[in-house]
Amino acid sequence: MALKYKCLILDHDDTGVKSTPDIHYPSFVEALKDLRPNDKPITLEDFVRYCFNPGFSSLCKDIIKFTEEEQNHQQVVWKKYTESTVPDFYELFVETIQEFKKQGGIVTVVSHSERNRIKRDYSIHCGFEPDAIFGWELPEHQRKPHPYPIKEILKRFNLKVTEALMLDDLKPGLEMAKSCNVDFAAAGWSHSIPEIKEQMKSRSKYYFETVEQFNQFILCK
């Protein structure tokens, strides 16, 4: 049976792997303690809300107003966490993309994690590296939500916009997919915050509460 889509454009954090509660949030809290010791600590829920809207870059630059030096310190702390912790993938996610690849599908990742961490996570858990990775190491104007990663994927693999599906849990991925006219599916399994769920449900072409629902859909079961 032919696959519904030839190519998956996957987010990494909180879509493929469970990383915000164990890596990104605690590293941010530690950096904030170093840089703004008198500020009230940010809760995990608020951190997720900010990452949803306006996005992590805006949280650092526009809301907390990190200087370039402070931003560099935050990155150093974050890298310490990402180097020492290999996050687990969500249950059934690995089997889903392994089967998709086995059936001839193209697996790509567009994320705010770094390329070498994504390669490591896939190699350890999935037994393969994604066919293309666009991560945090890119200059800002080429990172999600900018359209560059999707445009590059379509060009590289000679795909029509109708042949790719973007899967992400947050708004930057949704905006990037919409700007390129690529179908968007929301990964609802990592969120319990009602307003995020509602916004993603109302704005996405597909909304999956569980990885199992995504599995059934993408593998045409």
**Domain range annotation of the chain:** 7-18+89-218, 20-84
CA distance 89 to 149: 23
Q: CA-to-CA distance for 128 and 148, rounded, in angstroms?
A: 24
Residue 18 has pLDDT above 70, yes or no: yes
pTM: 0.91
Contact by Cβ (8 Å): 153, 179 = no
Query: Cα 218 vs. chain centroid, distance in angstroms?
Result: 18
Residue 3 contacts residue 178 (beta carbons within 8 Å): no
Mean pLDDT for the chain overall? 95
Amino acid identity at 210: T
Give CA–CA dist 213/134, Å, rounded.
26
Alpha-carbon span 158 to 3, nearest angstrom: 17
**Does the structure show a pLDDT above 70 at 64?**
yes
Q: Is the pLDDT of residue 17 over 90?
A: yes
User: According to CATH, what is the number of the domain 7-18+89-218?
Assistant: 3.40.50.1000
Residue 89 DSSP code: B
Q: Enumerate the β-bridge partners of residue 132.
A: 108
Residues 101-120: tens digit of each pLDDT: 999 999 999 999 999 999 99
